Structure 1
């Protein structure tokens, strides 16, 4: 358990619960010495704090906040970020500003500007780590529309791991055609940047549409593009603790 009966909690858990960062990054913040507990700088990992202690980050007090989980069906044309230096639209423009400012929620994982589909926004650092850290082997499923029919030999190359990108050999979970020969469903655990687009570019195809339909067990739940809904803590826990099954 993260919390003890007497109200104490590890400092890195407290920081992640406040929405400051994931637990892994919280350890880095602690070691840097910028976290204060009751007026004193703390840099020792494993430090226990009480839920009523005064915890400060860069001189500002932080508190455990109510956890918010928003499931969004991201539309095309939005940046997966809390803000953009070029003032392009971000996914934060699709939800009420009160959630952003009052609870400091942020998008988990990334979908590029042209990709649609499942996205989670939250202030829960623990859930963020579970859904993004490579060690948890997160599953993702995409529907892909290509500019031309996919040849059997190309599907075979992808399926058998014969595609190499600069990170290494591409290993997927499955791939199969959709209802037309230029539509593909692909499932994988690799989290390399723009990996789907790069796989098909390697085989001289152009991705016309890319839609993420499953993100670590999260699905769109019949949400229309651009719409969102709340998820409960119980729903999130059920999803992130479920084994990643191959479809």
Structure 2
């Protein structure tokens, strides 16, 4: 995308994102359809005794094909803990330096330590083993905290997926408390690291509701790039979600900086009244009601493992 000021004169116009809840169903992207024979999913109608956790029994949990791993190949301790579903790699480093991780009976505090997969690893004196991988997609509702444990006892995303599996999964990245939409939870530490590390480009699309109409001039400025307190940022694509109601826009962005979408509009004098993530790294919330979750299909997992989101 060009970032010049000729936008509005017909030249180098920012690409218009295919902004709708079916994003990802057209173009060259993988088509994850609703055909059960191809590993898709179909939402079940709600009934009087509807329970978002109960409708997915563990018998339906998908057994994903595991990638081959050489049992003799050394593995970093933080990666081992992440792959075991204990925490993210970054959190694992904090636990290691805190002295709560031991290997073969010896406390390890040195970062970068490598171990064998046959070593006995303990976390808080409890044995740790690598679990089968689980991938859960949640359509996050508002007034929900993206954390595994909240000291203020507010509702968390973990409360919404507690019936998904016995394995310990955790959210990949964060959505603000009142930001809704696509959120992935998994115990796959390698994939979580890729999806949260700045060097890997993950396309994200948001539906933004503003307190007033967005002017063409400000839209042009967002596309070209604006200066925030932590550096310059620009949208990969931006357009009105509705040609009549110009207080709603679709914005495509790769940056994972904290509150980046809200800060972009706040810097230009707008207030974001509603923010919904409709697309994340190839995943959409199509067919998934707010507050509901589902397992990723095998095709979706392979798509993420191949790094096709880059």
TM-score range for the pair, normalised by the shorter chain length: 0.7 to 0.9
**Secondary structure of 1:136 counterpart:** coil
Change (3 A) 1:195 1:98: closer
Match 2:251 to one of 183, 186, 209: 186
**Secondary structure of 2:81 counterpart:** helix
Measured after TM superposition, the shift of residue 125 of structure 1 is: 1.2
Q: Corresponding residue for 1:132?
A: 196
Aligned partners of 1:234 and 1:49: how far apart in 2? 31
Aligned partners of 1:196 and 1:44: how far apart in 2? 34
More strand by share: 1
Aligned partners of 1:208 and 1:240: how far apart in 2? 35
| 1:231 is the counterpart of 2:296 | yes
TM-score, length-normalised on structure 2? 0.70
Change (3 A) 1:219 1:87: same
Aligned partners of 1:87 and 1:32: how far apart in 2? 25
Q: Corresponding residue for 2:170?
A: 106
Aligned partners of 1:55 and 1:202: how far apart in 2? 48
**Secondary structure of 1:169 counterpart:** strand
Measured after TM superposition, the shift of residue 160 of structure 1 is: 0.7
Gaps of 5+ in 1: none
Measured after TM superposition, the shift of residue 189 of structure 1 is: 1.2
Runs of 4+ in 1 over 6 A off after TM superposition: none
Alignment RMSD:
2.5
Q: Corresponding residue for 1:201?
A: 266
C-alpha deviations, 1:14-38, integer Å up to 9, x for none? Answer: 2221012334554665577653322
The size of the alignment, in residue pairs, is 241
Greater Cα offset, 183-192 or 8-17: 8-17
Aligned partners of 1:92 and 1:24: how far apart in 2? 20
Match 1:170 to one of 233, 242, 248: 233
More helix by share: 1
Aligned partners of 1:205 and 1:145: how far apart in 2? 10
TM-score, length-normalised on structure 1? 0.86
